[in-house]
Amino acid sequence: MQAALLLKKRGYYPVIFESRDHLGGSAVLASKAPCKGMVAELIETMKAEMKEYHIEVRLNTPATVETLRALDPYGVVVACGGDQIVPNIPGVDRSNVYYIEDVLLRRVSFEGKNIAVIGGGHVGLEVAHFLCDNNKVTVVEMQKEVGVTIYRRDRRRGRAQEDRHRRGRHPPGRYRHHGARQSPRQELRAAAQGCVRQGRLCR
């Protein structure tokens, strides 16, 4: 969508081919995670802007070679996203193994279950946060700490804010957690670490 908007503003006539029945791609999935409501607003804002610029959108239409040849475009922008990585380990194909789309899009639901989240990166922590209100969640991570995929700049800033808080200063931010103001990223990480320690979200 962003590429189409930019091209339209530069004088081109973009056409979006989308194989699904909605726009947004992986951003739709991201908008379902805790603290990510603004992503949904971004999607709707971009859709409204495309409507304002009269950008043609073809939903439920895969971009095949034949379709593109019929359109005869000046150029093609490939923005088809990617597939989630599934580790090649024994048991990954069992019926009790689910993926982030299953959880965040609520294709499955759990209550009062023991759940292992494999991977303590950004997405893994979001899924753990999403699940740990009503379940006992354990995050399994091969690194020495969770959240290592969070931007280093934000991690350093988060540690600096924690240091200031310990000295009695409450750093600025949007959310409160145990009396201290924190950014959404910090709250997510703190909540996921609470899942690891207690099997539930610390409140």
Query: Would the pTM count as exceeding 0.85?
Result: no
What is the pLDDT, as a whole number, of residue 172?
46
- Which tokens hold the place of 129? 């946060």
C-alpha–C-alpha distance, residues 40 and 24, integer Å: 9
What is the pLDDT, as a whole number, of residue 196?
44
What is the pLDDT, as a whole number, of residue 136?
94
Which mean pLDDT values do the consecutive 10-residue runs of the chain (203 residues) have?
Answer: 96 96 92 91 96 97 93 93 82 91 92 92 91 92 83 59 59 42 52 46 37
What is the pLDDT, as a whole number, of residue 76?
95
What is the pLDDT, as a whole number, of residue 151?
63
What is the pLDDT, as a whole number, of residue 80?
85
State the residue for tokens 């979001």: 126
What is the pLDDT, as a whole number, of residue 193?
54
What is the pLDDT, as a whole number, of residue 131?
94
